[in-house]
Amino acid sequence: MNRITSKDGTKIAFDRSGKGAALIPVGGAFQYRAIDERTAQLASLLAQRFTVYNYDRRGRGDSTDTQPYAIEREIEDLNGLINEAGGPAYVFGMSSGAVLALRAVAHGLAIKKLGLYEPPFGNPGVWSPAAESY
């Protein structure tokens, strides 16, 4: 396990595997490395072609947390991982991690390409509790 320190002092835990261009999977709200077998399998498969930075989002798994919560802090965490990787990275966001990845693009992070899987958005004009929290 490796760690980086985010801008606000939060320790972000991650595993690095593989060789090639940097790819960072961004898990959903309840995912973290120790319990998420599917993301671990995905990281293993992707590590055949990429250097994968599989991390625990703040407040999950082996990462610490600093209150109060703000999505901007999570964007800073992702930026720290991109910097650790040495520059632009591919990012694959899943569920709420997809929303976080989209926000990171809007903030100008060095994301080379973006993949999104099941972002929790509802139909346009229809209220959605998931969309409301982002």
pTM over 0.85: yes
**Beta pairing partners, 82:** none
Q: What is the pLDDT along the chain (134 residues), one digit of tens a residue?
A: 999 999 999 999 999 999 999 999 999 988 888 787 888 899 999 999 999 999 999 999 999 999 999 999 999 999 999 999 999 999 999 999 999 999 999 999 999 999 999 998 766 665 555 544 54
Distance (Å) of CA 113 to CA 27, 58, 67, 75, 120:
17, 23, 30, 16, 20
**Are the beta carbons of 78 and 111 closer than 8 angstroms?**
no
Element (H, E) at 80: helix 71-85
**Cβ contacts of residue 91 below 8 Å, gap of 6+?**
23, 24, 25, 26, 78, 101, 104, 111, 113, 114, 115
